[in-house]
Amino acid sequence: MIWQLTNGGIEEFSILVFANEDEVFAGMFEMDGKPKHWSVRPRVEPFVDKRKKQQKPLADISYVTHGTIVLNGKAYAALGEFLSRFGQLLELDCNGEVYYFYNVTNLIDAIDVDCSGLEGKSVVKEAFRQDAIPSTAQIFKDPRTAHHAIYVNQAAKAVNRRGDHPQ
């Protein structure tokens, strides 16, 4: 079984936004499964809804754009070692604190295009080839959806539930 890793707390928690749009347009946050090399720590900040007096708090794991997650120090301490097996945890500056942008670099060609729902050439409802996914814990992106989706297999979900982080 495969799940898409998403942030389910958007109603209760603030999302993060990029402080410098030039970094976005320069491709710093292009999520294609390739390693990133940042010479400076990009800045992000909590989204501010100017219509509301009380702003939403930040979660330990936040959302900045489709197919990404950002961890604060607490989440990084708990999950960083495990997550780093499947990608990079790149430092961000969030109001003077270090946060970690998770760039998944573990690419697995696992989507069964013939059985998936498509809009044009875009996959909108994934069906996976189970034989393509290792039985060991995996957090991965498929090349077809790398720009907007992170996936987790059953073994990785089980690791998360148990709270252990196998080597």
**Model confidence pLDDT, tens digit, residues 109-135:** 999 999 999 998 899 899 999 999 999
| pLDDT score at 10 | 75
In a domain, residue 105? The reply is yes
What residue numbers bound the domain in which 56 lies? 2-162
In a domain, residue 167? The reply is no
- Mean pLDDT value of segment 60-81: 92
The overall average pLDDT reported for the chain is 90
CA R_g for the chain: 16
In a domain, residue 22? The reply is yes
Cα–Cα dist 6/67, whole Å = 8
pTM of the full structure: 0.89
| pLDDT score at 85 | 97
| pLDDT score at 78 | 94
3-state secondary structure the chain: CEEECCCCCCCCCECEEECCHHHHHCCCCCCCCCCCCCCCCCEEEECCCCCCCCCCCECCEECCCCCCEEECHHHHHHHHHHHCCCEEEEEEEECCEEEEEEEECCECCCECHHHCEEECCEEEECCECHHHCCCCCCEEECCCCCCCCCEEEHHHHHHHHHCCCCC
Cα–Cα dist 68/125, whole Å = 18
> 9 near 59, Cβ under 8 Å?
yes
In a domain, residue 54? The reply is yes
- Mean pLDDT value of segment 10-26: 85
In a domain, residue 112? The reply is yes
In a domain, residue 49? The reply is yes
In a domain, residue 68? The reply is yes
Please tell me the total count of domains within the chain. 1
In a domain, residue 125? The reply is yes
